[in-house]
Structure 1
Amino acid sequence: MAAKRLTATVAGCAAAAAAFAGLTACAPQGGADAAAGYDAAAAQQQAPPQALSDILGESAAPVSSAAPVRLTTALKGATIPKMGKVVTDQDGWVLYRFDKDTAKPPKTNCVDKCAQVWPPALTDGNPDLSGVDASVVGTVQRADGTRQITLAGWPVYRYIGDPKPGAWKGQNVGGVWFVVAPDGKKNLTCLPTPAPTAVEPPAASAPAADPTATQNGDGGAGGY
Structure 2
Amino acid sequence: MARTPARAMAAPLAAALLLMTGCAGAEPAAPAAAPVLAGGEIQLVDAPASSAGLTGDGRADEPAPAATTQSPTPAPSTAAADAAAPAKWVQLSVNQAAIGATVTDVTGFSLYSFAKDSADPPASQCTGECATSWPPVLIQPGGRVFVDGMQTDDVGAVRRPDGGVQVTIGGRPAYRFSGDTVPGELNGQGADGTWFAFAADGKPIDALISTAELKAAKPDRTGTLTAKDGKDGPIVVDDDGATLYRFDGDDTDPPASNCKGTCAVLWQPVVAKSGGKVKLKGIDEDRVWWLSRKDGTKHVTLDGSPLYRNVADSSTDTIIASAAVQGWTAAR
TM range (shorter): 0.5 to 0.7
Deviations 1:130-162 (A, max 9, x none): 012100100000011111011111011000011
Q: Percent identity?
A: 37
Instruction: Supply the AA of the counterpart residue of 1:26.
Output: A
The structure with higher relative contact order (CA 8 Å, sep 6+) is 1
- 2:119: which partner in 1? 103
Q: What are the residue-to-residue correspondences of 1:27-176 with 2, within 5 Å?
A: 54-56=36-38, 58-60=40-42, 69-71=85-87, 73-80=90-97, 82-124=98-140, 125-176=143-194
Q: What are the residue-to-residue correspondences of 1:184-223 with 2, within 5 Å?
A: 184-188=202-206, 191=209
Q: 1:25 to 1:120 in 2, by over 3 A?
A: closer
TM-score of the superposed pair, with normalisation by structure 2: 0.40
The alpha carbon displacement at 1:184 in A equals 1.6
Structure 2: how far apart are the matches of 1:129 and 1:114?
A: 27
Q: 1:64 to 1:87 in 2, by over 3 A?
A: farther
Moved more, 88-97 or 124-133: 124-133
Q: Secondary structure at the match of 1:76?
A: strand
Deviations 1:40-65 (A, max 9, x none): xxxxxxxx9757x5242634358667
Q: 1:188 to 1:100 in 2, by over 3 A?
A: closer
Q: Is the 8 A contact 1:152 1:184 kept in 2?
A: yes
Q: 1:92 to 1:104 in 2, by over 3 A?
A: same
Which ranges in structure 2 are unaligned for 5 or more consecutive residues? 1-7, 12-30, 43-69, 212-332
TM-score of the superposed pair, with normalisation by structure 1: 0.58
Structure 2: how far apart are the matches of 1:77 and 1:117?
A: 23
- 2:21: which partner in 1? none
Q: Is the 8 A contact 1:120 1:158 kept in 2?
A: yes
Instruction: Supply the AA of the counterpart residue of 1:86.
Output: T
Which ranges in structure 1 are unaligned for 5 or more consecutive residues? 1-23, 28-47, 194-224
Q: Is the 8 A contact 2:39 2:157 kept in 1?
A: no
Structure 2: how far apart are the matches of 1:76 and 1:83?
A: 16
Structure 1: how far apart are the matches of 2:195 and 2:32?
A: 27
Q: 1:25 to 1:95 in 2, by over 3 A?
A: closer
Q: 1:64 to 1:190 in 2, by over 3 A?
A: farther
Task: Name whichever structure is richer in strand by fraction.
Answer: 2
Q: Secondary structure at the match of 1:100?
A: coil
Task: Name whichever structure is richer in helix by fraction.
Answer: 1
Instruction: Supply the AA of the counterpart residue of 1:79.
Output: Q
Q: Secondary structure at the match of 2:40?
A: helix
Q: Is the 8 A contact 1:49 1:128 kept in 2?
A: no
Paired residues in the alignment total 149
Runs of 4 or more off by more than 3 Å in structure 1? 48-51, 57-68, 188-193
The alpha carbon displacement at 1:186 in A equals 1.4
- 1:26: which partner in 2? 10
Q: Secondary structure at the match of 1:171?
A: coil
